[in-house]
């Protein structure tokens, strides 16, 4: 074999199947060879990974990098620096920016902002909105990684589409084949309960939880799955937080619905108990932190595959936006890109997760869900040379100082962790070493999804088909 650009030697590779010592050769940004050191070709550069474990770079399918429009909270440079610091080499950005990513022009604007600033590779979701249905196909052609549907309110206060528009939108995306991430909370339930709580003078942290009960998640999820079942739309259920959601997802999968699901560290590691403490209102997030009884079922769902992956829902706001006395005045969302991997490594150290679970839940399954596998998410020949090099034995404490996100705080402040990200590589280039960002802005590239062929169900019953027929089928 001719010379390669880089050989990483001395490290221990972690895949969903095995943990093994090997060297990795990289050529033109891709993995060229994995094997014994004495088989490695001559390399222009060598990287010593002695004492480190090498994971496929993490693929976070749920981040809010806030640009355009809210760059005081985060932008593509700060948000992807946080990603690189956390071993995350691919981020998929949500469309609730200003303007929302609901038109081809807005998508193109976001992708060019990202291309100029990103340290890691990226994709951008387009919004499935009441008035964007006619543009979904053009949004796909313009490079959307998938779609996002808000069934309940969140940052940006985007209008929630009607059920009719959701069903029609699903008919369209079933034909397009891209996956639609769903924020499954019933907007009507939330609006009424929040108004009633406010009118009663409640503004304590747990009033937020009361305004968004578990049944709001369960009902919206059931509705989205029913629409997916009849149309063949591919769904991704964002931030599953409640035990009652799990049987619905399990049944839909058993029924052949192409649905993936995520949960987030905040639902696995924090509970509503934490909102009782002083300052608890800054833990306001949607869906809310829930009763402790939800946690064990969520962990089990990760092991058995009902929940496919872990994402951060990195949703930065400034400390001043999180510190209002009334919970209703605190912005919703938590930062998480930099703390994800240390927190999960700690769970590995404590025996709650196997080391081999990490690449499955944070790289392989996320990239598969969005048509990026095996370009992303794999330690395989031909895959992009995206790596998180971690030290399993480095203990520490999570603290906001030193974080790259503009959020300036973390819900995990003071938490002891076992395991640290030592180095991050994106397409063969070191972008972070020992907490320092050393890759240039603009190294990150836009990703195009390669989804399996669309598999619409009942296309003869879909609105566009029906509208042009003389005799309506039944
Ligand atoms: Zn989100």
Ligand 1 centroid – CA 235 distance (Å): 15
Cα–Cα separations (whole angstroms), residue 2 to 11, 43, 382: 23, 9, 16
pLDDT score, position 296:
98
Rounded average pLDDT over 139-143: 98
Ligand 1 centroid – CA 126 distance (Å): 13
Ligand 1 centroid – CA 39 distance (Å): 45
Size (the chain), residues:
474
Ligand 1 centroid – CA 181 distance (Å): 10
pLDDT score, position 466:
86
For 50-81, what is each residue's pLDDT tens digit? 999 999 999 999 999 999 999 999 999 999 99
Q: Is the peptide bond prior to 465 cis by the omega test (within 30 degrees of 0)?
A: no
Ligand 1 centroid – CA 226 distance (Å): 22
Ligand 1 centroid – CA 64 distance (Å): 6
Ligand 1 centroid – CA 238 distance (Å): 7
Task: Decide if pLDDT at 1 tops 60.
Answer: no
Measured distance CA(88)–CA(104) in Å, rounded:
27
Task: Decide if pLDDT at 2 tops 70.
Answer: no
Q: What is the mean pLDDT of the chain?
A: 96
Q: What percent of the chain has pLDDT over 90?
A: 93
Measured distance CA(286)–CA(313) in Å, rounded:
10
For 71-120, what is each residue's pLDDT tens digit? 999 999 999 999 999 999 999 999 999 999 999 999 999 999 999 999 99
Count of Cβ atoms closer than 10 Å to residue 465 Cβ: 14
Task: Decide if pLDDT at 155 tops 70.
Answer: no
Cα–Cα separations (whole angstroms), residue 328 to 194, 201, 274, 331, 332: 9, 11, 17, 8, 9
The burial class, CB within 10 Å (0-12 / 13-18 / 19+), for 375 is: buried
Ligand 1 centroid – CA 76 distance (Å): 16
For 258-294, what is each residue's pLDDT tens digit? 999 999 999 999 999 999 998 999 999 999 999 999 9
Ligand 1 centroid – CA 188 distance (Å): 19
pLDDT score, position 280:
94
Cα–Cα separations (whole angstroms), residue 39 to 7, 9, 42, 72: 11, 11, 10, 50
pLDDT score, position 461:
87
Measured distance CA(350)–CA(346) in Å, rounded:
6
Ligand 1 centroid – CA 184 distance (Å): 11
Ligand 1 centroid – CA 314 distance (Å): 7
Ligand 1 centroid – CA 417 distance (Å): 25
pTM above 0.75, yes or no: yes
Ligand 1 centroid – CA 460 distance (Å): 34
Q: Which residue has the tokens 């669309």?
A: 454
**413, 369 Cβ separation under 8 angstroms:** no
Greatest pairwise CA separation for the chain in angstroms? 74
Query: Whose CA is closest to 370, among 179, 108, 125?
Result: 179
Rounded average pLDDT over 395-413: 96
Task: Decide if pLDDT at 467 tops 90.
Answer: no
Count of Cβ atoms closer than 10 Å to residue 197 Cβ: 18
Task: Decide if pLDDT at 33 tops 90.
Answer: yes
**116, 440 Cβ separation under 8 angstroms:** no
Ligand 1 centroid – CA 284 distance (Å): 13
For 325-378, what is each residue's pLDDT tens digit? 999 999 999 999 999 999 999 999 999 999 999 999 999 999 999 999 999 999
Rounded average pLDDT over 186-203: 96
Measured distance CA(193)–CA(378) in Å, rounded:
44
**397, 364 Cβ separation under 8 angstroms:** no
Ligand 1 centroid – CA 183 distance (Å): 8
Measured distance CA(188)–CA(182) in Å, rounded:
16
For the chain, the structural domain boundaries read 4-48, 57-379
Pick from 126-130, 277-281, 406-410: least confident: 277-281
Q: Vertex 310, ends 309 and 311: CA angle to 5°?
A: 120
Q: Vertex 409, ends 310 and 237: CA angle to 5°?
A: 25
Number of helices (H), then strands (E), belonging to the chain: the values are 15, 19
- Helical residues (DSSP H) of 177-254, grouped into ranges: 187-199, 205-211, 214-231, 245-254
Q: In CATH, what is the architecture of 57-379?
A: Alpha-Beta Barrel (3.20)
């Amino acid at each position: 074999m001719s010379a390669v650009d880089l050989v990483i030697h001395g490290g221990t590779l972690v895949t969903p199947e095995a943990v093994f010592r090997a060297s990795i050769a990289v050529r033109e940004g891709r993995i060229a060879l994995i094997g014994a050191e004495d088989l490695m070709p001559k390399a222009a550069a060598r990287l010593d990974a002695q004492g480190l474990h090498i994971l496929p770079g993490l693929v976070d399918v749920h981040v809010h990098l806030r640009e355009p429009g809210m760059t005081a909270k985060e932008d593509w440079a700060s948000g992807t620096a946080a990603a690189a610091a956390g071993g995350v080499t691919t981020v998929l950005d949500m469309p609730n920016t200003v303007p929302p990513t609901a038109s081809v022009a807005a998508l193109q604007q976001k992708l060019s902002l990202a291309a100029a600033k990103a340290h890691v590779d990226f994709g951008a979701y387009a919004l499935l909105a009441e008035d964007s249905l006619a543009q979904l196909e053009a949004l796909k052609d313009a490079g959307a990684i998938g779609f996002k549907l808000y069934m309940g309110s969140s940052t940006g206060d985007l209008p929630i589409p009607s059920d009719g528009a959701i069903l029609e939108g699903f008919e369209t995306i079933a034909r397009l084949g891209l996956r639609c991430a769903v924020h499954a909370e019933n907007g009507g339930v939330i609006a009424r309960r929040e108004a009633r709580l406010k009118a009663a003078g409640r503004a304590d942290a747990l009033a937020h939880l009361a305004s968004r009960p578990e049944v709001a998640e369960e009902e919206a999820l059931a509705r989205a799955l029913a629409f997916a079942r009849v149309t063949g739309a591919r769904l991704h259920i964002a931030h599953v937080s409640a035990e009652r959601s799990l049987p619905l997802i399990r049944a839909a999968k058993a029924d052949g619905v192409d649905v993936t699901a995520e949960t987030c560290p905040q639902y696995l590691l924090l509970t509503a108990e934490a909102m009782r403490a002083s300052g608890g209102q800054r833990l306001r997030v949607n869906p809310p932190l829930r009763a402790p009884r939800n946690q064990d079922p969520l962990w089990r769902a990760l092991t058995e595959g009902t929940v496919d992956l872990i994402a951060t829902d990195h949703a930065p706001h400034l400390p001043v936006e999180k510190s209002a006395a009334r919970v209703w005045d605190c912005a919703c969302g938590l930062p998480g890109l930099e703390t994800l991997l240390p927190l999960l490594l700690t769970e590995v150290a404590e025996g709650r997760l196997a080391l081999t679970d990490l690449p499955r839940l944070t790289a392989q399954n996320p990239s598969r869900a969005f048509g990026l596998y095996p370009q992303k998410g794999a330690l395989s020949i031909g895959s992009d040379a995206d790596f998180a090099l971690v030290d399993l034995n480095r203990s520490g404490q999570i603290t906001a100082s030193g974080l790259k996100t503009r959020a300036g705080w973390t819900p995990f402040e003071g938490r002891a962790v076992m395991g640290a990200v030592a180095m991050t590589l994106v397409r063969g280039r070191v972008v972070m070493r020992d907490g320092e960002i050393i890759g240039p802005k603009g190294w990150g590239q836009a990703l195009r999804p390669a989804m399996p062929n669309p598999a619409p169900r009942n296309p003869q019953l879909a609105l566009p088909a029906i509208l042009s027929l003389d005799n309506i089928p039944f």
